[in-house]
Amino acid sequence: MKTQKSLLTLALLTFACFSCTEGPADETDTNGTAAKVITIEASDIMSASMTTGGNITSDGGAEITDRGVCYGTEPSVTIESAKVSAGSGKGAFEVELTGLEQKTVYYYRAYAVNAAGVSYGEEMTAETKVPELATVVTAEVTNAAGNSATCGGDIKDNGNAKIIGRGVCWSENDNPTIDDNKTEDGTGEGVFTSTITGLEVGKTYYVRAYATNDAGTAYGETKSFATIEAQLPTIEGFEVTDKTSVGAKSGGNITSDGGAQITARGVCWATHKEPTIDDNKTEDGTGAGEFTSEITGLTEGTVYYLRAYATNAIGTVYGEEKPFAPFYLDNGESMARITGGTFTVGEGGTHTDAGANTWQCTLPDYYIAKTEVTQQLWAEIMGTEYLEQFLSESEKEVGYICYPVGADDYNPQPKINWFDAIIFCNKLSAARGEDPCYYMEINGNNVTDPDLWEKTGEWEKNIKCDFNKGGFRLPTLPEWEFAAGGGEVPLQKYPGTDDFSELYLYGQIEGSLPGGATEGLFTVATRLPNKLGLYDMVGNATEWVWELRFEYPADARTYYDDVIDYNYGDRKAVKKGGTVWNWEQQVYLTTSNWSDPIDDRNWPCGMRLARTCLD
């Protein structure tokens, strides 16, 4: 009998053990066990609310269909008490308990519901606080112009209660309240900005920030201001930098907002002068001060005009116009077709030639290169050894293509004499499958291969040009001058412009060289082209033309039927362009030229290609 009682007791205990769950549960189910729930301690406790939550670490093998926090003012709260649901599923969650009584102790615990029943976490307590007025700081008044101004505030402390309203209030009387004029700028703590409207110019107003919570409305300190008559802003435009073939950077500095908020700013650009915001533009925020603009969608070789802009309530103002062209890469081989015409050669220029200062010439259509021959193209055709044989040891130390700013594939090729230019033209023509223009008559044959020429004595006088060939050649003096002046009569005074103050836009002239350099050759096509799309005709290298130094004729000439007798001269050839010498601005004139010995290899001596138009 005693043994039977022991067995019965053991069976009951075993049954009891298998019936237990971890944590309290209202009911169990054979389809799962109770979930495991942890209650999260309350935070952000205020007068009428607090934040708490839980973490379901195990779902007991059954889906969590509901979870949340239950709470009340008496202990042992259940889901039959007040509760806030947080959805379903395992893991951590957070809820906010609202509508609470101030200065009251609340009991709360997390819960989870699955097929086994309801499981609870540890019960905790928290006491709500007594609400107090918030702490508010009034911002300074700005943009007080016309009928509006900008103010705002900063709610430093919520006073143990949610901020249910905030803004600024204003009046013509001191210490305004929300019963006067006011803005409504949301809820919550922190910084906010307010726009005050409906003002009158010249009147004095008082304004202060406010914040409302369960304790009432608190105010910041009072600020006074008077509106003024707003004006247009003032703006300084930045230079155009970081140019690529399709984009660039610029920007500006708004030094005064004119007494009204800057609502838009940026840069605008177009292919015509005086662009406006109705053309292409960037939008680079609001407010005064500096800004940077990214310019995109450009076309290489095109001249654009750019201005920074700023807009306020009065209107839009523009900065100084900045002409620019996207970066244009060219090795010196690309050509522009020039429509011929009749003009007066040398008119208004300075020349080192003997005889008359002007003569009339009629040109047919022809081609001329957009840039000077670059080091890249020269090296491809001539190699590096050709010029190195003529350099001194000190020049070799710097590099044959280096004076004084360093080697660059897209720098003009320097140190070319007139002979070098002629030889290069024929070798380039042969390399491109074109008929060479220059020849020397040897034993009754017109020899175009420079390697076979007899280079003794005054051999320049034996070199002839066949203008009926389609190969590369030097431009004639009239061709160079007509193209540099824009191809229309009257020619532009300077290549690109008639205004000397604008000349730096079109060439590397004295006082405008990159990096503060005092002399040197620089990457081609970094300044604006003239109106025919030709670069650097006023800057960078000086350029040999076909003619040896000659006396200007007294009669009119028609090219190529009645060309100058190029055999005249004293072993000097004519050069155009360049900027390294300044004869009281005469060197920059389209029609000026000078001559140098044909075998001179001075560092600024370069060349530009031309071709006869055969169609």
Lowest mean pLDDT, pick from 13-17, 359-363, 478-482, 506-510: 13-17
Q: Of 234, 359, 367, 241, give the one whose Cα is nearest residue 308.
A: 234
The b-or-e profile of 285-305 (16+ CB within 10 A means b, else e) is ebebeebebebeebeebebbb
pLDDT bin (cut points 50, 70, 90) of residue 310 is very high
pLDDT at 20: 34
Rounded Cα gap, residues 426 and 471, in angstroms: 7
Across 281-308, average pLDDT? 95
Across 448-474, average pLDDT? 93
pLDDT at 356: 63
pLDDT bin (cut points 50, 70, 90) of residue 202 is confident
pLDDT at 612: 98
Across 199-223, average pLDDT? 96
User: How many residues in total does the chain contain?
Assistant: 615
Rounded Cα gap, residues 46 and 27, in angstroms: 35
pLDDT bin (cut points 50, 70, 90) of residue 567 is low
CATH, domain range 135-226 = 2.60.40.10
Rounded Cα gap, residues 281 and 264, in angstroms: 11
Residue 241 has pLDDT above 60, yes or no: yes
Lowest mean pLDDT, pick from 68-72, 96-100, 567-571, 596-600: 567-571
pLDDT bin (cut points 50, 70, 90) of residue 355 is low
Cis amide prior to 490 (ω within 30 degrees): yes
pLDDT at 465: 95
Q: What is the fold of 335-612?
A: paralog of FGE (formylglycine-generating enzyme) (3.90.1580)
More confident residue, 124 or 201: 124
Q: What is the pTM of this model?
A: 0.65
Across 336-354, average pLDDT? 86
Domain boundary assignment for the chain: 22-127, 135-226, 234-324, 335-612
CA-based torsion, 431, 435, 438, 442: positive or negative: positive
* Cα–Cα separations (whole angstroms), residue 430 to 72, 424, 474, 475, 610: 99, 10, 15, 18, 15
Residue 178 has pLDDT above 60, yes or no: yes
Rounded Cα gap, residues 459 and 481, in angstroms: 27
Residue 11 has pLDDT above 60, yes or no: no
Rounded Cα gap, residues 584 and 299, in angstroms: 36
Rounded Cα gap, residues 408 and 396, in angstroms: 16
Show the tokens assigned to 355. Answer: 């005889």
pLDDT at 551: 78
Residue 187 has pLDDT above 90, yes or no: yes
Q: Of 449, 459, 442, give the one whose Cα is nearest residue 426.
A: 449
Q: Of 74, 79, 35, 77, give the one whose Cα is nearest residue 57.
A: 35
Q: Of 181, 176, 236, give the one whose Cα is nearest residue 208.
A: 176
Q: Of 372, 340, 377, 382, give the one whose Cα is nearest residue 559.
A: 340
Residue 21 has pLDDT above 70, yes or no: no
Q: Do domains 234-324 and 335-612 have the same CATH topology?
A: no
The phi-psi region of residue 493 (left if phi > 0; otherwise alpha if psi is between -120 and 50; otherwise beta) is: alpha
CATH, domain range 22-127 = 2.60.40.10
pLDDT bin (cut points 50, 70, 90) of residue 28 is very low
Lowest mean pLDDT, pick from 8-22, 377-391, 560-574: 8-22
pLDDT at 528: 92
* Cα–Cα separations (whole angstroms), residue 51 to 188, 337, 538: 16, 79, 75
Count of Cβ atoms closer than 10 Å to residue 364 Cβ: 16
Q: Please write the tens of the pLDDT for every residue from 249-270.
A: 999 999 998 888 899 999 999 9
pLDDT at 444: 92
pLDDT at 408: 67
Phi, psi of 155 (to 5 degrees): -90, 105
| Mean per-residue pLDDT of the chain | 88
pLDDT at 30: 45
Radius of gyration of the chain (CA): 43
pLDDT at 511: 72
pLDDT at 493: 94
* Cα–Cα separations (whole angstroms), residue 428 to 412, 446, 449: 16, 18, 11
Lowest mean pLDDT, pick from 40-44, 387-391, 521-525, 554-558: 387-391
Q: What percent of the chain has a predicted confidence (pLDDT) above 90? A: 68
CATH, domain range 234-324 = 2.60.40.10
Residue 246 has pLDDT above 60, yes or no: yes
Q: Of 584, 492, 600, give the one whose Cα is nearest residue 544.
A: 600
Show the tokens assigned to 311. Answer: 């807009």
Residue 406 has pLDDT above 60, yes or no: no
Cis amide prior to 404 (ω within 30 degrees): yes
Rounded Cα gap, residues 543 and 532, in angstroms: 18
Rounded Cα gap, residues 101 and 82, in angstroms: 13
Across 594-609, average pLDDT? 89
Q: Please write the tens of the pLDDT for every residue from 362-388.
A: 999 999 999 999 999 999 999 978 887
Rounded Cα gap, residues 291 and 275, in angstroms: 19
User: DSSP 3-state assignment of 132?
Assistant: coil
